[in-house]
Amino acid sequence: MDKSGDAAVVLEAAGLTKHYGSVAALRGTNFQAKAGEVVALIGDNGAGKSTLVKCLSGAEQPDGGAILLDGKPVVLDTPTAARKLGVETVYQDLAVAPDLDPAANLFLGRELLRRGFAGKLGMLDRTAMKSQAVEHFRRLGVTLQSADVPIGSLSGGQRQSVAVARAVMWASKVVFMDEPTAALGVVQRERVLDVIRRVRDHGIAVVLISHNMPEVLAVADRIEVLRLGKRVARFSAADVTLEQLVGAMTGALSHEDVA
């Protein structure tokens, strides 16, 4: 049984369509993310995963269909609009500023200013950002070799953990992660997966795009499968096999179209 089966649907795609010229990337795609669960979005290359994530995070506009947040239709016309509604995205490449320390990375573009006149002059409140960052890393179980060095000198896993922590810090509803561990080794990958689990345990909906099926089975609560721009299957991770997942992705196993 899907342990998050009763959880509320936070973000929903309903019949989304999206064309790039004559290519139909999304052909009436449905998708649901629920509070406090990790849902993996899987599918072969070209299935439409990235296009769906872009539409749901404000980076692209669908041609048709609806996007519902907490059951209400929303227009996510820019990534900023999505962020304002609590929807954040972590990209595949290690998207951090290497010259800045971990705290500065968390507040990148959303820096805290000092109170009063100093703040009006644009002076940053580094002490407040540092202490909030330390507390946030502690809550997520992110342990850094040092919080005082440029993030470029940390390991890939630590950098990606900071990128995940940054998205989570500002996400109140949903975090999309497009291949967050693709650049990482085995040990580092495990640490990032631990952070993802903790994010989920804080009640946020985590959408994980991954090609790594063992990783999907290890961390996801549910799995939704896209093929040729449509959702073709949904599984609870607890009772699905690798063979079923691959079969749904390739179309080798016939599934009821749940779209």
Binding site for ligand ADP (CB under 6 A): 20, 23, 25, 43, 45-51
Candidates 3-11, 27-35, 46-54, 216-224; binding stretch for Mg ion (CB under 5 A): 46-54
Helix ranges (H only) for the chain are 49-56, 79-84, 102-106, 116-120, 126-140, 156-170, 186-201, 213-219, 242-250
Considering CB distances under 5 to 8 angstroms, the limit depending on partner class, which of ligand ADP, Mg ion, none binds residue 79? none
- Residue 19 beta carbon to ligand ADP: minimum distance, rounded to whole angstroms: 9
- Residue 206 beta carbon to ligand ADP: minimum distance, rounded to whole angstroms: 18
If the CB atoms of residues 51 and 105 are measured against ligand ADP, the closer one turns out to be 51
Residue 235, Cβ neighbours under 10 Å: how many?
Answer: 22
If the CB atoms of residues 50 and 188 are measured against Mg ion, the closer one turns out to be 50
Closest by CA position to 190, among listed 158, 163, 166: 158
Map tokens 């179309």 to a residue.
251
- Residue 48 beta carbon to ligand ADP: minimum distance, rounded to whole angstroms: 4
Cα distances from 111 to residues 60, 94, 103, in angstroms, run 27, 20, 10
- Residue 215 beta carbon to Mg ion: minimum distance, rounded to whole angstroms: 16
If the CB atoms of residues 49 and 234 are measured against Mg ion, the closer one turns out to be 49
